[in-house]
Structure 1
Amino acid sequence: MATYPNPDGLEIHFAHLEGNADLGDLWEAARTAGVKPGTIRVWVTRKKIEPVLDGPAGQYFHLPTIRQAAAGGAKHRPADPAANSRGPHARAA
């Protein structure tokens, strides 16, 4: 089960038939979330999101769910993103 589940399949199907543009491929999902396509793949692998359709033509995602996942942010945000295992970086003068 994904952290951000998609709506019911019938709801998505009928919205698509009515011309609703809530479905998008990997690239559209990445643009919607403001991340790189690799990040979307990582989210799928980590079960944060799941594709609506997954087949030989590629993966398609429910874009409002992608927006919700992007707004949810990361589980862990380091205090200093530039820090590594050796501690924070000193700024050059």
Structure 2
Amino acid sequence: MVAYPNPDGLEIHFAQIAGNADLGDLWEAARSVGVKPGTIRVWVTRGKIEPVLDGEAGQYFHLPTIQRAAAGGAKYKPADPAANSRGPHAHAA
């Protein structure tokens, strides 16, 4: 199950016919949310998003879905942003 599913295929098809430019390749998807293309690939691998089209010509994504996924943030947010695997950092007083 994808965390941020794409809209129905017919909805995307009719949006394309109407001239709606909501589809973009990997680079356009990354640019639309200010991340690197590798981040988009990681989101696909981890099941956060999925491409609308995936074939020999490359992957294409629904840009509003990408934007929702980016706004959703990470699944895990530590209580203390300074914490790491060794525990919280000591703060100098």
TM over 0.5: yes
Please tell me the residue identity of whatever aligns with 1:76: Y
- Tell me the CA shift for residue 34 of structure 1: 1.6
What corresponds to 1:41 in structure 2? 41
Give the whole-Å Cα distance in 1 for the aligned partners of 2:31 and 2:11. Answer: 23
Identical-residue share of aligned pairs (%)? 85
Give the whole-Å Cα distance in 1 for the aligned partners of 2:31 and 2:20. Answer: 18
> What is the CA RMSD across the aligned residues, in angstroms?
1.8
Give the whole-Å Cα distance in 2 for the aligned partners of 1:85 and 1:72. Answer: 24
CA deviations on 1:44-74 (whole Å, 9 max, x unpaired) are 0111100000000000000000000001000
Paired residues in the alignment total 93
CA deviations on 1:14-33 (whole Å, 9 max, x unpaired) are 11111101000001111112
SS at match of 2:74: coil
Give the whole-Å Cα distance in 2 for the aligned partners of 1:80 and 1:32. Answer: 29
What corresponds to 1:64 in structure 2? 64
- Tell me the CA shift for residue 78 of structure 1: 2.6
SS at match of 1:61: strand
**Mapping 1:27-38, distance limit 5 Å:** 27-38=27-38
- Tell me the CA shift for residue 35 of structure 1: 1.1
5+ residue gaps, structure 2:
none
SS at match of 1:12: helix
Give the whole-Å Cα distance in 1 for the aligned partners of 2:90 and 2:30. Answer: 33
5+ residue gaps, structure 1:
none
